[in-house]
A and B are shown apart, each in its own frame.
Chain A
Amino acid sequence: MRPEFTPRQIVHILTPSLFALRNRRRAADRVDFLRAALFGGITLLFSLGIFAGFYRVLVYIGQFSEFTAPLTQQILATVSMFLFTVLLASNVVTAYSTQYVSEDLSLLASSPVPLPALYGARFTLTLFQSSWMVLVFSFPVYLAFAVTSPAPFRFLLAVALILAPLLIIPAALGTMITTALISVFSARRVRELLMMVGALFVVLLVLLIRTQQPERLLNPSSIYDIGEFFSAFHAPASPLLPSTWATDLLAAGRQAEPFPWFLLFLLYSTAAAAVVLGCWQARALYRRGYSRAQEALPARFTTSPLVDRLLELAARPFELRFRSLLLKDLKSFLRDTTQWSQLFLLLALVVVYLYNFSVLPSNFTFATFYLQNLFSFLNLGLAGFVLSAVAVRFVFTAVSIEGRAFWIIRSSPLSLRDFLWSKFWTALPPLLILSQILTLVSNHFLGASRFMTVLASVSILFVCFGIVGIGVGMGAMFPRFRFENVTQIAGSTGGLLYMIVTTSFIAVVLFLEALPVYSYLSAQYRGDPLDRPLLVTSLSLLAVAALNVAAVILPLRWGQRRLAALEI
């Protein structure tokens, strides 16, 4: 009997993706190489950090022989469960795109390609797209386990053995979840759902990790802290979970014990069964799901007449053109789940930031006058950096967010100058409010002097203008009107450059203020007259204000020129 499809067909369907990859490498220019080097460098640094953290903890645990094995196993279980969960979530999101909304699918779905071949090819694509990053960042973790293990090569062998099924199982499950969701809801609803749940998942994870104070692991005062930390993420060690089988195999490899081959068999057979089940499910539901994915139903979670009315009332006092742009931007933002769900992340960032100050050692408020003020001053830089991180997502993207509808602005009588200033004034107030919350609350926790609190508040106010000006200006210099997701704009080369520029800008502000503030505080500490230091501090603040005026006007002007020269 002739088989329904052959592996060759799967490879053939994958060739456009492979060719695209090859062609992109061939067409890469210097900027692309620079970008790859930059991202590569950041990844390497991050990996080294992960390795160092785990290595330190594992070496420390190794000193307590009676606790070593159970604690290591607990950490391994947590890591395996974490990877499995992240992979599952990542596969659900990726499968949505690769299996249902990719533009090339219309060609494939209308061709006589057998469904199992199509499923196989798109499944492979999903597997690679969703797993490579997890794989890259899990490598330093497993390496740390290996080098601290009595049998490093055996442990690495265990890792090699479990890797394939540990990646395939969540990929197959994720694909099945997406197919089930799309066969019930429309693609747009599923997208909204995934964005909301995804953002909430990340927020909860970040908050959970932060509130467990992982810094305890880097400076362990007690072995029980480590146990307590990992038990907070206590992985449900059900014997039915593939992550538990993987953990047991890894633990056996690390302790140079005989491999539980049955668990390995379970992992591989489950992986194979999951792929076959996924294929059966695709046979039953894929065509219907793909058809539903084409339906353009209106968004459900994103429109509210009350919110619209409130926005219109709030915008009423503004000048007509500014009001029109403001309302358009706000409504588009609040109705796009991919955008407003990012507010959860912003909230998590602020909570974690302020939490960091709230958990300072209880004796910190009794620290020296010098130390308190030094921390308060450095906090200015930190708050500036947090604002930049927020701005790269919400301000730098302000021009690109016009997307392919930018022709409407360009062909209208609205000047680019007015357009950019409108973006500037729209982005400034929320960032100003955020900056004041960050500095005032953190200075309260730090117990900073009134002088430092006022100085930090005024300085960050100025810095906000600069961050927003540079954001809108650089966003116009490096626009990206074609994107699938807003996060792509923030993660572009322009976004990275923006972060570098704003970090340097904040460093210059700190540099300008450092010496005058030091002289003022020294004079205050010694009881010397304050007139002269106060004058110097005021002058430095004036210099900071001037710098910020330049940081607003120049980038906006350059951005305007770049947009005017841009051919769309």
Chain B
Amino acid sequence: MIQLQALSKHYGQQVAVDRLSLDVKPGELFGFLGPNGAGKTTTIKMMAGLLRPTSGRIVLAGHDLEREPEKAKAALGFIPDRPFLYEKLSADEFLQFVAGIYGMNGGDVTRRIQELLDLVELREFRGNLIESFSHGMKQRLVMAASFIHEPKVLVVDEPMVGLDPKGTRLIKGLFRERCRKGETIFMSTHTLEVAQEMCDRIGIILKGQLIALGSMDELQQQAESKIPALEHIFLKLTGGDGFREIERDPV
């Protein structure tokens, strides 16, 4: 469902993503981890069409993002890490707008918007302007917007940032539900507990290169770790001071 083929992104001399290749299957919830500056957001922005790769290919739901951008994007739902929205629209109007640019219209859309507002628990705020929303409310609204056209692929950058425990639980439930329905989710996160709990497979990126890929068990083997905790595996694979600290004091 998602294919990244030798994907690279250079900023001048600096290589942000280096020949990254991945294949994510339908219905899979894929976790994309890495330390700060590893290339996660750059990869995700390339998948959302916000950045152009220096080389390589991105195929979403069978459509090459470079050759058939409209078809690829029609299959894509994108949730960025920071929810910048049209502040002067109400939640209802914003969802109408998003439905419109995805070519959706009519009574079904109105019904769908009500369902989604219920789903993200924003129904009572639907007439309020977005400028009065908190970060968490905006994040939930972006999620509703990304679900509106029933995308086959959902690309999510740091979904849990700024969410309260209730919001986090809501998102986890929503993601599981969508994967059950066959949607593919590609999620970058720093919240390792969430990744361990939710993801079918995890990819770890470091300095733009994919250094580990697989299920929790496979990652544990690759890291030659005796502790089945993603935090330990992650720090061991990515190295640095963090790992030396937990080696000294595993508790």
Residues in A lying within 8 Å of B, measured CB to CB: 188, 296-299, 302-303, 320-321, 323-325, 327-328, 331-332, 335-336, 403-405, 407-415, 564-565, 567-568
The chain B residue sitting closest to A299, CB to CB, is: B129
Tell whether A411 pairs with B89 under 8 Å between CB atoms, given A296-B132, A299-B131, A404-B84. Answer: no
Most chain B beta-carbon neighbours within 10 Å: one of A303, A336, A403, A410: A410
B132 contacts A412, C-beta separation under 8 Å: no
Interface size class of B (residues with CB under 8 A): 35 or more
B103 within 8 A of A: yes
Ordered nearest first, which 6 A-B pairs have the shortest CB separation?
A324-B100, A404-B84, A413-B74, A335-B88, A332-B88, A413-B73
The chain A residue sitting closest to B85, CB to CB, is: A405
A296 contact set on B, CB distance < 8 A = 131-134
B50 contacts A568, C-beta separation under 8 Å: yes
The chain B residue sitting closest to A302, CB to CB, is: B88
A328 contacts B86, C-beta separation under 8 Å: yes
B139 within 8 A of A: no
Residues of B100-151 contacting chain A, CB below 8 A: 100-103, 105, 128-129, 131-134, 145
A411 contacts B101, C-beta separation under 8 Å: no
B227 within 8 A of A: no
B93 within 8 A of A: yes
- The complex places the Cα of A320 from the Cα of B103 at a distance, in Å, of 7
The chain B residue sitting closest to A328, CB to CB, is: B97
Tell whether A405 pairs with B84 under 8 Å between CB atoms, given A410-B49, A413-B71. Answer: yes
Tell whether A409 pairs with B101 under 8 Å between CB atoms, given A335-B88, A415-B69. Answer: yes
Write 27 A-B pairs (CB below 8 A) sorted by A numbering.
A296-B131, A296-B134, A297-B132, A298-B128, A298-B129, A299-B129, A299-B131, A302-B88, A320-B105, A325-B97, A327-B96, A331-B88, A331-B89, A336-B88, A408-B98, A408-B101, A410-B49, A410-B50, A411-B78, A412-B98, A412-B102, A413-B71, A413-B73, A413-B103, A414-B101, A567-B50, A567-B52
B80 within 8 A of A: yes
B129 contacts A321, C-beta separation under 8 Å: no
In the assembled complex, the CB of B177 is this many whole angstroms from the nearest CB of chain A, namely 22
A403 contacts B105, C-beta separation under 8 Å: no
B129 contact set on A, CB distance < 8 A = 298-299, 303, 335
B103 contact set on A, CB distance < 8 A = 320-321, 413
B131 contact set on A, CB distance < 8 A = 188, 296, 298-299
In the assembled complex, the CB of B61 is this many whole angstroms from the nearest CB of chain A, namely 12
- The complex places the Cα of A335 from the Cα of B86 at a distance, in Å, of 11
The chain A residue sitting closest to B96, CB to CB, is: A324
Residues of B62-95 contacting chain A, CB below 8 A: 69-71, 73-74, 76, 78, 80, 84-86, 88-89, 93
- The complex places the Cα of A407 from the Cα of B146 at a distance, in Å, of 12
In the assembled complex, the CB of B69 is this many whole angstroms from the nearest CB of chain A, namely 7
In the assembled complex, the CB of B26 is this many whole angstroms from the nearest CB of chain A, namely 20
In the assembled complex, the CB of A33 is this many whole angstroms from the nearest CB of chain B, namely 23
Residues in B lying within 8 Å of A, measured CB to CB: 45, 48-52, 69-71, 73-74, 76, 78, 80, 84-86, 88-89, 93, 96-103, 105, 128-129, 131-134, 145
A411 contacts B88, C-beta separation under 8 Å: no
Q: A407: which of B74, B80, B102 is its contact (CB, 8 Å)?
A: B80
- The complex places the Cα of A414 from the Cα of B80 at a distance, in Å, of 18
A564 contact set on B, CB distance < 8 A = 52
- The complex places the Cα of A405 from the Cα of B103 at a distance, in Å, of 19
B132 contacts A321, C-beta separation under 8 Å: no
In the assembled complex, the CB of A171 is this many whole angstroms from the nearest CB of chain B, namely 30
In the assembled complex, the CB of A292 is this many whole angstroms from the nearest CB of chain B, namely 15
B145 contact set on A, CB distance < 8 A = 408
In the assembled complex, the CB of A407 is this many whole angstroms from the nearest CB of chain B, namely 6
Tell whether A298 pairs with B132 under 8 Å between CB atoms, given A332-B89, A413-B70, A567-B51. Answer: yes
Could you list 13 further interchain pairs (A-B, Cβ under 8 angstroms) beyond the known A296-B131, A327-B96? Answer: A327-B97, A328-B97, A407-B50, A408-B86, A410-B50, A412-B73, A412-B98, A412-B101, A413-B101, A415-B70, A564-B52, A567-B45, A567-B51
- The complex places the Cα of A332 from the Cα of B129 at a distance, in Å, of 10
The chain B residue sitting closest to A334, CB to CB, is: B88
- The complex places the Cα of A405 from the Cα of B131 at a distance, in Å, of 13
B85 contact set on A, CB distance < 8 A = 405, 408
B88 contacts A413, C-beta separation under 8 Å: no
A321 contacts B101, C-beta separation under 8 Å: yes
A325 contact set on B, CB distance < 8 A = 97, 100-101
- The complex places the Cα of A410 from the Cα of B145 at a distance, in Å, of 14
- The complex places the Cα of A407 from the Cα of B83 at a distance, in Å, of 10
A412 contact set on B, CB distance < 8 A = 73, 98, 101-102
In the assembled complex, the CB of A297 is this many whole angstroms from the nearest CB of chain B, namely 7
Q: B48: which of A297, A327, A411, A415 is its contact (CB, 8 Å)?
A: A411
The chain A residue sitting closest to B145, CB to CB, is: A408
B52 contact set on A, CB distance < 8 A = 564-565, 567
Most chain B beta-carbon neighbours within 10 Å: one of A324, A331, A405: A324
- The complex places the Cα of A565 from the Cα of B128 at a distance, in Å, of 35
In the assembled complex, the CB of B43 is this many whole angstroms from the nearest CB of chain A, namely 13
The chain A residue sitting closest to B129, CB to CB, is: A298
A331 contact set on B, CB distance < 8 A = 88-89, 93
In the assembled complex, the CB of B11 is this many whole angstroms from the nearest CB of chain A, namely 9
B84 contact set on A, CB distance < 8 A = 403-405, 407
A415 contact set on B, CB distance < 8 A = 69-70
- The complex places the Cα of A411 from the Cα of B131 at a distance, in Å, of 22
A565 contact set on B, CB distance < 8 A = 52
- The complex places the Cα of A396 from the Cα of B35 at a distance, in Å, of 40
The chain A residue sitting closest to B99, CB to CB, is: A324
- The complex places the Cα of A323 from the Cα of B99 at a distance, in Å, of 11
A320 contacts B100, C-beta separation under 8 Å: yes
B96 contact set on A, CB distance < 8 A = 324, 327
- The complex places the Cα of A43 from the Cα of B85 at a distance, in Å, of 37
B50 contact set on A, CB distance < 8 A = 407, 410-411, 567-568
The chain A residue sitting closest to B105, CB to CB, is: A320
- The complex places the Cα of A567 from the Cα of B17 at a distance, in Å, of 15
- The complex places the Cα of A297 from the Cα of B73 at a distance, in Å, of 35
- The complex places the Cα of A492 from the Cα of B128 at a distance, in Å, of 33
In the assembled complex, the CB of B82 is this many whole angstroms from the nearest CB of chain A, namely 8
A321 contact set on B, CB distance < 8 A = 100-101, 103
A335 contact set on B, CB distance < 8 A = 88, 129
The chain A residue sitting closest to B46, CB to CB, is: A567
